[in-house]
């Protein structure tokens, strides 16, 4: 009956052909077409199948050839040098006393703490480590700490003063005694006579006069030197600050040089006079300026400009850099700390870059070229699809063939296994296995192989069932009886005579299955349980797009990937459909 | 017939046994992070036992200290009594969580199912009646598109178009922020707004296969001899199609639709997860990813039961609807 129909079909076609061409040779040509050729012809006449075939061909070229052509690598990260507003300098208004120690003297943080205590209690002497330190106030918040060497004992009762030198050979003239008297009357604890600093301290009813040696200065002001001469030394600091704070003079002499002081809003610049003019030498201010990065050296000119800007209450200031470009700095104040930010050049990853001539589909969140990722992703998706389908087909043929041919308990057993597999929910089990691999921290490369294996093992029962059904019906046909009668071996009978008759259905199922596998793989990868970063897959390129912001702004990442999945699966479905029609023309589905 | 059903049920029980055994084995191969975390948490309470003591106790409670086979039988023993234990992820009995969420899935599935039938069956018949026409090609392409669409991609596109660009429907969830303040009609509208996109997704995805199935069967019937007879009798085309052809197409259709009835309870894992609908699919997804053995075991067995029920119903319906079929 089948044959009749086919013959009729063929006759119809022949008349069609002769009608078109009126040539006898065409009749001959059509007659010699083999059944295989007929299938091909029928396939080629199916427009949808051809479209599907072209789609799949394109996908292969895109993934496998495209990956070779693209100038980029699968996991190549693109960076650019961009400017970022970075913290450059922090400025603190100093509220703590800072000390500078004279050369060769011992004065550490513990001594400093003692000084703070003594100062707060209004005492003029404190002891630390067995030594008595005298505090001499030069100006507000500016102190000298000195060691005192007793030179004379002074008795002073009701205006009558007696000076008893403690060392031999010391004598004090009238002028000096007047100075002492003045100091005692004024309640001072120190005084200057000549060039010497003297201390007066009480000892019972008497006073002790001592000469002094500078140990340290304690001050709220910070003195910075020019970059070529960072360490200004104790002497300079003392002299300059004394001139600025105590004497209120605009110039002073130190070690033979004359210095000028210009003060403006608490910020004082110290210039050294040279033969031709003057040059900036130091900066005295209540602000501590520190660069955030250690490798940045701040010049005193920059500090001066910055501190003046801060003192003027400005929020922005410009200062030329080494190359002479004017750079804008933003000043933000938080309590007593000013942060100065500027646009700094840094290496940045070009994340989610819009499509451009370099990156036709932009870059993804890792800064990788989306188009290249799509190509490599296509490779993985297609490869997984083909390997899984091969695996499931092989398993299905073996199991289905065994069941169908042997029947009885083999059939029973294999079919029950198939039933069990059918009952296991497919997607949930893939998700569970995916999360098992997640927890076991499986290497991404190995994961791909496991994924293929799992998909193959999970999907063979469908093929096995079909093969078994076909074989069961074929087994009863006459040609198998003939094969048995000619004494062919069992394996020959199965693989040479039964299986070839199942091949058409197998090809159709496998083609449709390819689409299914690619869908499952991409779904899993989308959920983050399939192919993992750094490997690309169409599914995992889409994953991570969940918020409205990402959806609208990074469309160039996920829309192409989704379209590729859709097109590929559609292509396989078109081709599978066309093949089914071509193999079995009477069952046009 | 009764004997057949009984036999099938018995086989189903055996199948369920093996299915649950396989799933239990896979679940047990997850490193037991939950028990460890729990033990660590409990051991840090004031005056608590040490970590290892807690671990041992918890492992015993959950049957994790035994091998996989004894552990499985312990699970089975309580499972046949209807006790599936407490969910680790949700901290309530598994069955309680299940009854809380299953109706969300059912409503979603049922609406989509009805829509699918309403759209796919007429279109399939139309395609079969006008075979090889432009209409037929169009319907075939649409059907194949529906089959080929990745759910997650389609759902995301729908969200982009309808939620982000047009702003007609919300992105996530089952109810809006002010649900409690609305009157009953307002609540219904709010729910409808939230269910629109998930239902649309499910319908479009599911439409394809049903449409093709209808078309194939309709074609088969239309090529049958009795249709030729009906036409030869001079019946109107309308009567041929609606009365003779359609009723015969119904046989396979009813079978397959009846078989997919249990599937209404299965939930839609991806769709529910993407739209964050608190159905069984979404709940199970979170349980599976976090390694919640009790809930996952329940869910998987439940899914297996649904599959078995589906085939059983289909087979029985086939025999009931088509008297020509006799089962031995």
**How does the average pLDDT of chain B come out, rounded?**
85
In chain A, residues with a C-beta closer than 8 Å to the C-beta of B147 are 515, 569, 573
Cβ–Cβ of B26/A433 closer than 8 Å?
Answer: yes
- Distance, in angstroms, between B6 CA and closest chain A CA? 17
Better pLDDT: A316 or B328: A316
Cis omega before residue A534 (within 30°)? yes
Count CB pairs under 8 A between chains A and B.
Answer: 135
In chain B, residues with a C-beta closer than 8 Å to the C-beta of A528 are none
Q: What is the pLDDT of residue A495?
A: 77
Residues A409 and A552 in one domain: yes
Q: What is the pLDDT of residue B328?
A: 45
Residues A393 and A334 in one domain: no
Residues 6+ apart with CB under 8 A from A197: A136, A144, A146, A190, A191, A211, A212
Q: What is the pLDDT of residue A589?
A: 39
In this predicted structure, the answer to whether residue B326 has a pLDDT above a threshold of 60 is: no
Residues A413 and A544 in one domain: yes
Residues A268 and A210 in one domain: no
Q: Which strands make up the sheet holding A326-334, listed edge to edge?
A: A287-291, A79-93, A337-349, A326-334, A316-320
pTM of the model as a whole: 0.71
Residues of chain A numbered 504-523 and touching chain B (CB < 8 Å): 515, 519, 522-523
Residues A407 and A523 in one domain: yes
Residue A29 lies in a domain: no
Cβ–Cβ of A566/B153 closer than 8 Å?
Answer: yes
Residue A133 lies in a domain: yes
Residues A377 and A332 in one domain: no
Residues A158 and A282 in one domain: no
Residues A410 and A550 in one domain: yes
Angle at A324 between CA A323 and CA A329, to 5 degrees: 105
Residue A431 lies in a domain: yes
Residues A134 and A211 in one domain: yes
In chain B, residues with a C-beta closer than 8 Å to the C-beta of A526 are 150, 152
Residues A427 and A550 in one domain: yes
Cβ–Cβ of B284/A523 closer than 8 Å?
Answer: no
Q: Out of B15, B29, B163, whose CB is closest to A420?
A: B15
Q: What is the pLDDT of residue A29?
A: 53
Residue A46 lies in a domain: no
Q: Taking the CB of residue A515, how many other CB atoms lie within 10 A of it?
A: 26
Residues A269 and A179 in one domain: no
A584/B contact by beta carbon, under 8 A? no
- Distance, in angstroms, between B148 CA and closest chain A CA? 5
In chain B, residues with a C-beta closer than 8 Å to the C-beta of A552 are 160, 164-165
A570/B contact by beta carbon, under 8 A? yes
Structure-token pair, residue B240: 């041929």
Q: What is the pLDDT of residue A588?
A: 44
Cβ–Cβ of A431/B288 closer than 8 Å?
Answer: yes
Q: Taking the CB of residue A185, how many other CB atoms lie within 10 A of it?
A: 10
Cα–Cα distances (Å) from A32 to A25, A38, A40, A585, in that order, read 11, 10, 14, 19
Are A497 and A513 contacting, i.e. CB atoms less than 8 angstroms apart? Answer: no
In chain B, residues with a C-beta closer than 8 Å to the C-beta of A529 are 289
**For the residues B40-49, what does the mean pLDDT come to?**
77
Dihedrals phi, psi of A98, to nearest 5 degrees = -120, 145
Residues of chain A numbered 540-569 and touching chain B (CB < 8 Å): 542, 545, 548, 551-552, 555, 558-559, 561-562, 565-566, 569
Q: Which residue segments constitute the domains of chain B, with CATH numbers given? A: 94-321 (1.10.3720.10)
In this predicted structure, the answer to whether residue B19 has a pLDDT above a threshold of 70 is: yes
What is the rounded distance in angstroms from the CA atom of residue A488 to the CA atom of residue A497? 10
For chain A, how many helices (H) and strands (E)?
A: 19, 18
Cβ–Cβ of A435/B11 closer than 8 Å?
Answer: no
Q: Which of A322-331, B224-233, B278-287 has the lowest mean pLDDT?
A: A322-331
Q: What is the pLDDT of residue A17?
A: 56
A429/B contact by beta carbon, under 8 A? yes
Residues A212 and A291 in one domain: no
Are B194 and B170 contacting, i.e. CB atoms less than 8 angstroms apart? Answer: yes
Residue A566 lies in a domain: yes
Q: Tell me which of A291, A316, A349 is where a domain ends.
A: A349
Q: Out of A422, A551, A561, whose CB is closest to B160?
A: A551
Residue A289 lies in a domain: yes
- Distance, in angstroms, between B161 CA and closest chain A CA? 10
Q: Tell me which of A279, A314, A349 is where a domain ends.
A: A349
Cβ–Cβ of A577/B144 closer than 8 Å?
Answer: yes
Q: Tell me which of A170, A191, A219 is where a domain ends.
A: A219
Cα–Cα distances (Å) from B126 to A186, B26, B66, in that order, read 119, 47, 60
- Distance, in angstroms, between B266 CA and closest chain A CA? 10
* Helix residue spans in chain B (DSSP H): 2-28, 33-43, 51-61, 68-80, 94-129, 134-148, 151-158, 184-222, 225-232, 237-239, 246-259, 269-275, 280-289, 293-321
Structure-token pair, residue B67: 């091998």
Those residues of chain A that have pLDDT short of 50 are 1, 588-589
Residues 6+ apart with CB under 8 A from A333: none
- Distance, in angstroms, between A527 CA and closest chain B CA? 9
Residue A252 lies in a domain: yes
Dihedrals phi, psi of A124, to nearest 5 degrees = -105, -10
Are A386 and A515 contacting, i.e. CB atoms less than 8 angstroms apart? Answer: no
Residue A134 lies in a domain: yes
Which residue of chain B has the CA closest to A558?
Answer: B153
Q: What is the pLDDT of residue A575?
A: 92
Q: What is the pLDDT of residue B170?
A: 84
Q: Out of A48, A416, A522, whose CB is closest to B150?
A: A522
- The CATH number linked to A434 is 1.10.3720.10
Which residue of chain A has the CA closest to B170?
Answer: A548
- Distance, in angstroms, between A567 CA and closest chain B CA? 8
In this predicted structure, the answer to whether residue B153 has a pLDDT above a threshold of 80 is: yes
Cβ–Cβ of B296/A427 closer than 8 Å?
Answer: no
How many domains are there within chain A? 3
Mutation to test the A interface, candidates B89, B129, B152, most A Cβ within 10 Å:
B152
Cβ–Cβ of A515/B33 closer than 8 Å?
Answer: no
Which residue of chain A has the CA closest to B304?
Answer: A423
Residue numbers of the domain that contains A505: 373-570
Structure-token pair, residue A504: 């058409």
A139/B contact by beta carbon, under 8 A? no
Structure-token pair, residue A486: 């000619």
């Amino acid at each position: 009956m089948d044959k009749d129909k086919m013959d009729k079909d063929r006759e119809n076609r022949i008349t069609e052909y002769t009608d078109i061409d009126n040539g006898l040779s065409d009749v001959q040509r059509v007659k010699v077409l083999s059944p295989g050729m007929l299938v091909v012809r029928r396939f080629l006449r199916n427009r949808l199948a051809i479209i599907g075939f072209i789609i799949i061909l394109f996908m292969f070229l895109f993934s496998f050839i495209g990956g070779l052509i693209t100038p980029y690598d699968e996991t190549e990260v693109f960076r650019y040098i961009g400017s970022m507003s970075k913290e450059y300098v922090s400025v603190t208004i100093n509220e703590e006393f800072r000390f500078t120690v004279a050369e060769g003297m011992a004065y550490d943080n513990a001594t400093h703490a003692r000084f703070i205590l003594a100062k707060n209690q209004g005492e003029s002497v404190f002891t630390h480590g067995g030594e008595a330190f005298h505090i001499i106030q030069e100006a507000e918040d500016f102190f000298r700490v000195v060691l005192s060497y007793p030179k004379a004992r002074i008795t002073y009762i009701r205006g009558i003063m007696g000076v008893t030198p403690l060392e031999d050979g010391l004598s004090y003239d009238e002028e000096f005694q007047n100075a002492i008297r003045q100091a005692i009357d004024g309640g001072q604890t120190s005084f200057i006579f000549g060039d010497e600093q003297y201390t007066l301290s009480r000892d019972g009813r008497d006073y002790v006069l001592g000469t002094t040696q500078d140990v340290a200065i304690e001050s709220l002001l910070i003195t910075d030197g020019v970059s070529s001469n960072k360490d200004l030394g104790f002497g300079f600091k003392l002299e300059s600050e004394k001139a600025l704070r105590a004497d209120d003079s605009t110039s002073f002499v130190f070690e033979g040089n004359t210095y000028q002081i210009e003060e403006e809003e608490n910020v004082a610049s110290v210039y050294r006079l040279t033969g031709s003019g003057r040059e900036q030498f130091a900066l005295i201010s209540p602000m501590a300026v520190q660069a955030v990065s250690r490798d940045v050296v701040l010049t005193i000119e920059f500090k001066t400009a910055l501190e003046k800007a801060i003192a003027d209450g400005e929020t922005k200031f410009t200062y030329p850099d080494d190359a002479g470009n004017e750079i804008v700095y933003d000043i933000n104040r938080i309590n007593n700390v000013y942060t100065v930010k500027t646009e700094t050049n840094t290496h940045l990853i070009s994340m989610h870059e819009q499509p451009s001539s370099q990156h036709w589909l932009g870059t993804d969140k890792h800064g990788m070229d989306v188009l290249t990722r799509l190509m490599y992703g296509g490779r993985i998706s297609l490869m997984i699809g083909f390997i899984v389908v091969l695996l499931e087909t092989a398993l299905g043929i073996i199991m289905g063939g065994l069941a169908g041919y042997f029947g009885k308990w083999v059939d029973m057993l294999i079919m029950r296994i198939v039933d069990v597999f059918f009952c296991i929910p497919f997607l949930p089990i893939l998700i569970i296995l995916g999360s098992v691999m997640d927890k076991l921290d499986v290497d991404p490369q190995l994961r791909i192989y496991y994924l293929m294996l799992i998909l193959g093992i999970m999907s063979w029962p469908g093929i096995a069932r079909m093969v078994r059904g076909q074989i069961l019906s074929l087994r009863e046909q006459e040609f198998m009886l003939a094969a048995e009668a000619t004494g062919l071996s069992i394996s020959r009978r199965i693989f040479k005579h039964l299986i070839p008759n199942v091949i058409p259905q197998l090809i159709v199922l496998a083609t449709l299955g390819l689409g299914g596998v690619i869908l499952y793989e991409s779904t899993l990868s989308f959920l983050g349980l399939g192919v993992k970063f750094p490997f690309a897959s169409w599914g995992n390129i889409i994953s991570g797009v969940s918020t409205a912001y990402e959806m609208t702004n990074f469309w160039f990442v996920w829309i192409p990937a989704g379209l590729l999945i859709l097109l590929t699966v559609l292509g396989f479905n078109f081709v599978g459909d066309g093949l089914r029609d071509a193999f079995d023309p009477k069952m046009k589905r | 017939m009764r004997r057949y059903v009984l036999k099938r049920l018995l086989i189903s029980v055996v199948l369920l046994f093996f299915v649950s055994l396989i799933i239990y084995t896979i679940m047990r191969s997850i490193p037991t992070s939950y028990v460890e975390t729990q033990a660590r948490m409990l051991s840090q309470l004031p005056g608590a036992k040490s970590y290892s003591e807690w671990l041992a106790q918890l492992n015993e409670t959950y049957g994790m200290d035994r091998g996989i086979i004894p552990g499985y039988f312990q699970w089975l023993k309580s499972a046949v009594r209807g006790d599936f234990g407490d969910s680790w992820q949700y901290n309530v009995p598994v069955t309680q969580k299940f009854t809380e969420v299953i109706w969300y899935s059912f409503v979603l599935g049922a609406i989509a199912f009805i829509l699918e039938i309403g759209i796919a069956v007429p279109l399939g018949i139309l395609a079969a009646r006008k075979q090889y026409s432009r209409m037929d090609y169009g319907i075939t392409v649409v059907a194949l598109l529906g089959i080929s669409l990745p759910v997650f991609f389609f759902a995301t596109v729908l969200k982009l178009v309808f939620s982000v660009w047009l702003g007609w429907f919300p992105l996530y969830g089952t109810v809006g922020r002010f649900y409690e303040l609305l009157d009953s009609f307002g609540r219904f509208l709010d729910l409808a707004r939230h269910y629109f996109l998930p239902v649309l997704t499910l319908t479009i995805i599911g439409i394809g296969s049903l449409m093709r199935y209808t078309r194939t069967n309709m074609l088969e019937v239309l090529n049958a001899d009795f249709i030729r007879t009906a036409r030869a009798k001079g019946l109107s085309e309308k009567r041929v199609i609606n009365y003779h052809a359609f009723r015969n197409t119904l046989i396979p259709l009813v079978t397959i639709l009846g078989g997919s009835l249990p599937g209404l309870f299965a939930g839609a894992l991806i769709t529910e997860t993407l739209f964050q609908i608190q159905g069984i699919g979404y709940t199970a997804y979170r349980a599976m990813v976090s390694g919640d053995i009790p809930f996952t075991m329940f869910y998987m067995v439940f899914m297996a039961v649904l599959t078995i029920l589906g085939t059983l119903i289909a087979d029985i319906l086939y025999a009931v609807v088509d008297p020509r079929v006799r089962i031995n």
